Amino acid sequence: MIEKMKYADVILPLSLANSYTYRIPQDMQAALVAGCRVIVHFGKRRYYTAIVLEVHNRQPQSTLEVKEIYALLDASPVLRRPQLRFWQWLSEYYLCKLGDVYKAALPSGLKLESETAVSCIKDFEAQFPLRPAEQAVLDAFSDGQKLTVSELEKKTGLRNVVSTLSVLLTYGAVEVQEELKKGFAPKLETYVSLSDEYRGHDALQKAFDLLKRAHKQELLLIAYLDLSHILNPTLATEVTKKELLQQSECSVSVLDGLVKRGILKYYDKEVGRLQVHISRLQPPQPLSPDQEKAYADIHESFKIKDVCLLHGITSSGKTEIYIRLISEVLSLNRQVLYLLPEIAITTQITNRLTKVFGDKLLVYHSKYSDNERVEVWNKLRAEKKPLLILGVRSSLFLPFYDLGLVIVDEEHEPGYKQQDPAPRYHARNAAIMLANMHGAKTLLGSATPSLDSYFNALTGKYGLVSLNLRYGNTLMPQIIPVNVKELKRKKIMKDALFSPILIDKITEALNNDEQVILFQNRRGFAPVIECKSCGWVPHCVNCDVSLTFHKFRNQLVCHYCGYTYQLPPVCPECRESDLKMMGVGTEKVEEEIASLFPAAKIGRLDFDTARTRTAYERIIDDFDGGKISILIGTQMVSKGLDFGNVSVVGIINADSLLNYPDFRAHERAYQLMVQVSGRAGRRDKSGTVILQTTQPEHPLIQMVQRFAYQEMAKMQLTERSMFRYPPYYRLIVVVLRSRNETVLQEQSLLFAAKLKEKLGDRVLGPVSPPVTRVQSLHIKKIVLKIEISANISPVRKLLDSVQCEMQQNSDYKQLLVHFDVDPA
Ligand code: ADP
Ligand code: ZN
Ligand code: ZN
């Protein structure tokens, strides 16, 4: 007899413990396996969808009563085997709970909680009198209605509906609805087909006879025959209502007429939202000799190493090389994950990939609706097919069957690091681990690699392949630093934002019908405003930062918490009305450009204008299609976009990038400036970049000018090793926050002292970050610098035990504490 497993450890979407033990009811013991979803009862009032981590027969240690699993949702696991391993690795490495990973990993449609719907059993008859609360719950249901636990709570006014429900469940009076069906509504599309009785030449002839006087309907029928190829069975395809109307240029009423006559009929079909209608796929482009060489080198590198860094300058054709590698892996029946740092750049790449891979391409990211995400999830779960998934970091959690290749494009982008909430993982590093678990290779691509990856390539951990020519021998842009300080001193620029040479270049570009990108890394109009007479500066009440003036909304905005304020008509301190706008944001650049070039069509791309996927896409499309000739924006304009007609790029103020207080500031500044410069240049003509700065002799500016990546890397690596920073040391930051500043100060000193006992001078702080208070919480950080070669698990244990000790302390409860491993 096979032994039945009595207990299941499950993951709840909570960050308390890693797992919780439940008893498996008799009738579930056969079907319940790891990776399935179950509904469990946790705490006083809530139901959760949990994931089974392990089933076993070990008697739980706890003296608390072990609850029973309430319902089993899946006949087969939602998670594939390597996924749980990946979750475990992530939670260990990034010092968070499995529940945090679970929350990040599954789309909501797959993890419904106390919103779980319940319905009552129609012909239930009580064998004994019900208690008032029980009766009240049953009365709350009208016929066949489903109610969620929280709805029931509201309707009955009862506090403890869940326990009442559990009783009713044991009576067989109510049942839990399987939420997957409710949470997921498939998308339908209407198709058109020929009615059965008109199939065949003769029957069809009759149809045409009927239509002799209905010319439009006749045309429509011809269009249908054309599109469907119904007379030629080898080519026959299904026809959607939409494409038929488009093709025939007829109105819906004409089509409805044909349906009424019974010649055509409608039918609905579930469509993948992500399915694309591409009639003919294009083969990958032939590679140039340099690309061919890089491609071969990557192959060679993969023979001996799992990870390869492709350092290819902007427009060298990295994407074309990816496409070749992808088709190869797909043809081996394996899957490919193509990661991008941001939703923002998926559109352009999606178009390029669709042309080659058609419906083998699935796109997955958070701006898609939850339904769309569930659909990708289910498709991957149901089919063991070679598919290409394009997505942002959360796509690491999809149920891949067999990954053969992971591509991390723009691998240097800080957007790969999840900031808040936990799991605070770095998607590039996690991708390498995921690939490992599948026996897949990872290709990292960038024109400006992160120093971390570059260091790994230099030390032989990764392969390194370089591509130093732009495709089609397009020249690299010419970068011209402009000394703004000098121009101001000579009174040539005064208060103006643009140097004369930048204005000349823009004028020239517009005259030639070419486009311009202007980069300014601050949004809003004026980053700071100040009272001219008393020096008062408006600050956020919740955060320790000054407010940015947004002229378009006519509001002051806190960029840390999003809180908005009205601009005061007079200074609240001295009652003078002279408020001075200081600094330059994208709105101000836009305003000045508009007054200098009133005829030009101007667009702005920043967090404020590109809040939604469609808004973003519209701006990019308008620029790509030439409807906008000057595009102003924040770092958003630097991101892997490929435009054909940009001849001038202006960097309005490079100083703010250089002076940022962070050990990565110079690496970032280099990457941003080179990336944004990379948008300039057309096939037949080199582009121009005007780089405005007060420090033209700054070594970094000169390196940007010469595209001297290796030099920059060497200089930065020397500094990093000297000051014990990554990639030589691993950083783990303990972030402590509290409303109470004094308690925070005391507790973080105590925390640091305990760490220092064991780790000595590897522990720095507590220190205050540049912004010391956000959303009413004061912040302290303790920084751990651990040798990269050292084993990290003792450190993890130490952090755990120190935290346990601290929790004995009642003041510590006033703190919110989390760990940030490898902060970006
Ligand atoms: P990167 O990703 O390195 O910035 P892309 O792959 O976007 O470069 O290539 C830049 C431009 O050159 C794109 O418009 C692309 O279509 C074109 N291109 C690159 N390689 C080829 C090729 N082998 N055949 C045709 N066009 C190419
Ligand atoms: Zn004042
Ligand atoms: Zn704020």
Predicted pLDDT at 799: 95
How far is C-alpha 734 from the chain's CA centre? Answer: 25
Secondary element (H or E) of residue 147? strand 146-148
DSSP string, 749-809: HHHHHHHHHHHGGGEEEEE--SS-EETTEEEEEEEEEEETTS-SHHHHHHHHHHHHHHHTS
Ligand nearest to the CA of 674: 1
Closest by alpha carbon to 553, among 531, 523, 583, 530? 523
Residue ranges in 305-414 assigned as alpha helix (H): 318-331, 346-357, 370-382
Cβ neighbors of 109 (< 8 A, separation 6 or more) are 180, 183, 184, 370, 371, 373, 374
The CA distance from 50 to 9, in Å, is: 10
How far is C-alpha 629 from the chain's CA centre? Answer: 29
User: Is residue 667 packed enough to be buried (19+ CB in 10 Å), middle (13-18) or exposed (0-12)?
Assistant: buried
Backbone angles phi, psi at 660, to 5 degrees: -70, 135
The CA distance from 401 to 392, in Å, is: 19
Tokens of 687: 């582009």
Question: DSSP code of 450?
Answer: -
User: 14 and 42 in contact (C-beta within 8 Å)?
Assistant: yes
Tell me if 291 CB under 6 Å of ligand 1: yes
| Positions at the binding site | 531, 534, 540, 543, 558, 561, 571, 574
Nearest CA owner, ligand 1 atom 15: 317
Tell me if 678 CB under 6 Å of ligand 1: no
Distance 538 CA to ligand 2 centre (A): 10
DSSP reduced 3-state for 168: helix
Cβ neighbors of 402 (< 8 A, separation 6 or more) are 333, 334, 335, 384, 438
Closest by alpha carbon to 115, among 71, 75, 146? 146
pTM (two decimals): 0.81
The CA distance from 282 to 721, in Å, is: 48
The CA distance from 761 to 268, in Å, is: 68
Ligand nearest to the CA of 295: 1
Ligand nearest to the CA of 572: 2
Tell me if 316 CB under 6 Å of ligand 1: yes
Nearest CA owner, ligand 1 atom 9: 317
Predicted pLDDT at 178: 45
Secondary element (H or E) of residue 7? strand 7-11
Predicted pLDDT at 112: 55
Distance 541 CA to ligand 3 centre (A): 6
Predicted pLDDT at 359: 86
The CA distance from 645 to 631, in Å, is: 12
Predicted pLDDT at 238: 80
User: 12 and 20 in contact (C-beta within 8 Å)?
Assistant: yes
Tell me if 319 CB under 6 Å of ligand 1: yes
Q: Which of 350, 407, 471, 674 to mutate to test the pocket of ligand 1 (most atoms within 8 A of CB)?
A: 471
User: 556 and 548 in contact (C-beta within 8 Å)?
Assistant: yes
User: 351 and 342 in contact (C-beta within 8 Å)?
Assistant: no
Task: Please identify which residue in the block is written with the tokens 């030009």.
Answer: 600
Closest ligand 1 atom, residue 642 Cα:
7
The CA distance from 547 to 566, in Å, is: 11
- Per-block average pLDDT, block size 10, for the chain (824 residues)? 78 86 90 88 76 90 82 80 90 93 80 66 79 87 78 78 66 62 57 87 87 89 86 74 86 90 85 54 88 97 97 92 96 96 78 89 75 78 89 93 95 93 95 96 97 97 94 87 91 86 96 95 90 91 91 89 89 88 92 95 90 80 90 85 86 89 92 92 81 94 95 96 94 95 96 95 92 92 93 90 92 93 92
DSSP reduced 3-state for 281: coil
Alpha-carbon dihedral angle through residues 303, 304, 310, 316, given to the nearest 10 degrees: -40
DSSP E strands in 473-623: the ranges are 478-483, 515-519, 528-531, 548-550, 555-557, 564-566, 579-582, 602-605
User: 741 and 778 in contact (C-beta within 8 Å)?
Assistant: yes
Nearest CA owner, ligand 1 atom 26: 285
Q: Is the dihedral of CA 781, 787, 789, 790 positive or negative?
A: negative
Strand order in the sheet with 146-148: 146-148, 117-120, 174-176
Tell me if 471 CB under 6 Å of ligand 1: yes
Tokens of 644: 């054909």
How many helices, marked H, and strands, marked E, lie in the chain? 26, 34
Q: Which of 313, 319, 624 to mutate to test the pocket of ligand 1 (most atoms within 8 A of CB)?
A: 319
